[in-house]
């Protein structure tokens, strides 16, 4: 599930226009309304991808209630974010947003209305926007593996392949972050 969510995020981010679907920390930003590609299937495809990724991490220990509690927390947090985003888009795009929102489900896929994205896939966009997602995914799985190791053996440790994975992903994160902030390539 983690891989499916990560691949879904790559597809979405690689096809959306600049100035949309970002990690907006200060204020909402949307230069245009995304209605094609993944956004023709559901209104919040990035959050659906995040739910898949977190499900993968939370299901790893095979404890059903851990997944249930995690998804309830996920829903509580993301429901607020989705409402704020939709209120912003309603103000910004008015009737166009309203028409799209009425036809497009929030989180449950509807393949019947799929319209291909207008932009070609852009790896640069993915590399610029997704490096922290990859690091978070690997780090979350590594933490889960360390906790499972502690549960099974009584020692808090991480198998060596996880250290290699963390090292590789951390190196990628630092390299891509440097490219993003100190060059014009990303």
- Alpha carbon of 23 to those of 17, 27, 146: distances in Å? 14, 10, 29
Q: In 3-state terms, the chain is what percent helix, strand and coil (to 5)?
A: 70, 0, 30
The answer to whether residues 109 and 134 belong to one domain is no
Q: Is the pLDDT of residue 23 over 80?
A: no
The pLDDT value given to residue 157: 80
Domain final residue pick, 91, 119, 147:
119
Confidence class for position 90, pLDDT limits 50, 70, 90:
very high
> How confident is the model over 29-47, as pLDDT tens digits?
777 889 999 999 999 999 9
The answer to whether residues 104 and 155 belong to one domain is no
- Domain range for 179: 122-186
The answer to whether residues 10 and 84 belong to one domain is yes
High-pLDDT (> 90) share of the chain, %: 54
The answer to whether residues 78 and 11 belong to one domain is yes
The answer to whether residues 97 and 150 belong to one domain is no
Helix (H, G, I), strand (E, B) or coil at 110: coil
- Phi, psi values for residue 148, rounded to 5°: -65, -40
- Phi, psi values for residue 184, rounded to 5°: -100, 5
High-pLDDT (> 70) share of the chain, %: 96
> How confident is the model over 161-183, as pLDDT tens digits?
989 999 999 999 999 999 988 98
Confidence class for position 93, pLDDT limits 50, 70, 90:
very high
The pLDDT value given to residue 24: 61
Q: Is the pLDDT of residue 27 over 90?
A: no
The answer to whether residues 93 and 185 belong to one domain is no
The answer to whether residues 115 and 37 belong to one domain is yes
7-11, 82-86, 107-111, 176-180 — which is least confidently predicted?
A: 107-111
Helix, strand counts (H, E) of the chain: 6, 0
Task: Read off the CATH number of the domain in which 64 is found.
Answer: 1.20.120.1630
The total number of residues shown for the chain amounts to 186
- Say if CB 159 and CB 149 are below 8 A apart: yes
The pLDDT value given to residue 155: 84
Mean pLDDT (the chain, rounded): 89
């Amino acid at each position: 599930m983690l891989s499916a969510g990560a691949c879904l995020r790559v597809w979405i981010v690689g096809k959306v226009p600049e100035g949309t679907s970002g990690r907006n920390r200060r204020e909402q930003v949307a230069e245009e309304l995304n209605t094609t590609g993944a956004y023709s299937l559901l209104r919040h495809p990035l959050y659906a991808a995040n739910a898949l990724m977190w499900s993968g991490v939370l299901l790893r220990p095979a404890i059903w209630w851990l997944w249930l509690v995690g998804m309830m927390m996920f829903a509580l947090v993301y429901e607020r974010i989705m409402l704020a985003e939709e209120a912003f888009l309603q103000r910004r795009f008015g009737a166009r947003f309203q028409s799209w929102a009425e036809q497009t489900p929030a989180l449950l896929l509807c393949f019947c209305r799929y319209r291909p994205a207008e932009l070609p896939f852009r790896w640069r966009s993915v590399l610029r926007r997704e490096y922290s997602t990859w690091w978070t995914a690997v780090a979350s799985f590594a933490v889960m593996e360390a906790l499972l190791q502690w549960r099974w053996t009584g020692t808090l440790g991480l198998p060596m392949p996880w250290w290699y994975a963390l090292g590789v992903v951390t190196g990628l994160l630092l390299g891509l972050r440097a490219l993003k902030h100190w060059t014009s390539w990303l």
